[in-house]
Amino acid sequence: MSDSTPRPDEGIPAGDGGHLRDEADATSTREFPFEAGQVHAPAEGEAFHRRERRGLLVPVVAAAVVAALIGGGIGAGIAIAVAPRTTLTTASGGSSGVVINNPSTATAVSAVAAKASPSVVTISVNAPNESGTGSGIVLSADGDVLTNNHVVTLDGDTGGGTISVTASDGHIYPAKVVGTDPLNDLAVIRLTGASGLTPATFANSGDLNVGDSVVAIGAPLDLPNTVTTGIVSALNRSIAVASSAVPKGSSGSGGDTGGNGSGSNPFNFWDFGNGSGSSAQTQTNNIYLSVLQTDAAINPGNSGGALLDSQGDVIGVNVAIAGTNSSSSGQSGSIGVGFAIPSTIAKRIADDIIAGRTPTHGQLGVSSVANESASTGTVAGIKVSSATAGGPAAKAGIQKGDIITAVGKVAVTSYTDLAGQVRSYAAGTKVPVTYSRGGQSHTVTVTLGSTPSS
């Protein structure tokens, strides 16, 4: 799409030329295999697309830990009792779980991992012609688990895959999908016959600072209970990825539907691992996510797993990585640019799904021209091509020609920013929107409309 092609604020992909439909008219179906995908330095107007499919996951169990009390914390002190467990090995011969051999030398990261690892599970999805693995976060003792939509749909290829979940103690449970939110790439599954699981504790991601220490736990490359560390690299980042929603009318049986989804999309979820499945279905629609960025190593298989703060509380759901696309296969691992859906957004969506409510996503009600700023070049923002009559923006006084520069406290300089930030709010939320008109800055409160979920 050329720079002159108008973009809707909710990130509807171009398809009909000219002004794009406002999100109210758009559908959001795209696919991503599951597990953290790769992001290629995005060119403006491109979308990210995540994938991480691989072969059937080997059942794994939590490894031996010595009973201990681990003191200290990365920020404030934390003390965690670590109970003994039996060591088992995977088919590849490696032990799984968080192993504490010498409590006297255990670090604050050891404490975070020991606290949170029982709340992270490994998810295996199998369809007739493909399979994949990802991670999940335990929400309830009786088996509600949060993960990515692209994990349970194999990147949008199937709505009926067989799901099995391996808990940190090695117990394997069958699971069913409770509900999905393709627009935020989130899903909740429920384990059958589960009890006594350890629910994760969620922190307020709005309290994070750039530079805060973080720990990621998941199953990258079919290696469950893998712990990596880093910092919060950036907050309020926005990325675009291809939708992992299963197309309406699709049998969801998998199969070679063409393409690995890389295209020109900046953030991609690739097909990693054993490669027992076929390539994912190529879809045209994009979704736009507000994410936090981390340099903790995130790789295919980490998707749906936990990003944790120094107290072992969830601050994000790992969803994508940036990649250099330098390998001959067009795939690469972590380069220290990973992304997670903030915990405040993820928990809201999960609560809605579990309660039987349809998650909602904000809509501003404007169309925009990609990257068009003020004619003087002195204002960075998104120029409004049109404001839907009677829509949220129009009701607040925003007009054609205005330059939207911020949503809430977050500056927006591209349609990806605008769409990602607007969609991060629930419909009906009152949000300050700042815009420039005639060289003067104005801030109005907009009551967001609702973006259709499909």
Measure the CA–CA gap between 98 and 242, rounded to whole angstroms.
34
Annotated active-site residue 253? The verdict is: no
Measure the CA–CA gap between 142 and 348, rounded to whole angstroms.
19
Please identify which of the residues 110, 124, 262, 303 carries the catalytic annotation.
303
Please name the residues in contact with 232: beta carbons below 8 A apart, sequence gap of 6 or more. Answer: 208, 209, 210, 211, 212, 214, 292, 293, 294
Annotated active-site residue 303? The verdict is: yes
Residue 97 φ/ψ region, left for φ over 0, alpha for ψ in the -120 to 50 degree band, beta for the rest: left
Please identify which of the residues 22, 155, 157, 185 carries the catalytic annotation.
185
Compute the C-alpha angle 221/224/229, nearest 5°: 85
Helical H runs in 95-251? 108-116, 149-152
Strand (E) or helix (H) holding 401: none
327: tokens are 């390998």
* Contact in structure between 41 and 447 (CB atoms under 8 Å): no
Helix (H, G, I), strand (E, B) or coil at 242: strand
Q: What is the dihedral of CA 389, 393, 394, 398, to 10 degrees?
A: -140
The neighbouring-strand residues paired with 386 are 367
Please identify which of the residues 119, 150, 212, 402 carries the catalytic annotation.
150
Report the candidate in 54, 97, 39 with the shortest Cα–Cα distance to residue 301: 54
Annotated active-site residue 150? The verdict is: yes
Helix (H, G, I), strand (E, B) or coil at 379: coil
Measure the CA–CA gap between 51 and 332, rounded to whole angstroms.
12
44: tokens are 């403006």
Q: Kindly report the number of other CB atoms within 10 A of residue 211's CB atom.
A: 8
Q: Looking at residue 103, what DSSP letter applies?
A: G
Strand (E) or helix (H) holding 20: none
- The amino acid present at 402, given as its one-letter code, is D
Please name the residues in contact with 262: beta carbons below 8 A apart, sequence gap of 6 or more. Answer: 40, 49, 268, 270, 325, 330
Active site residues: 150, 185, 303
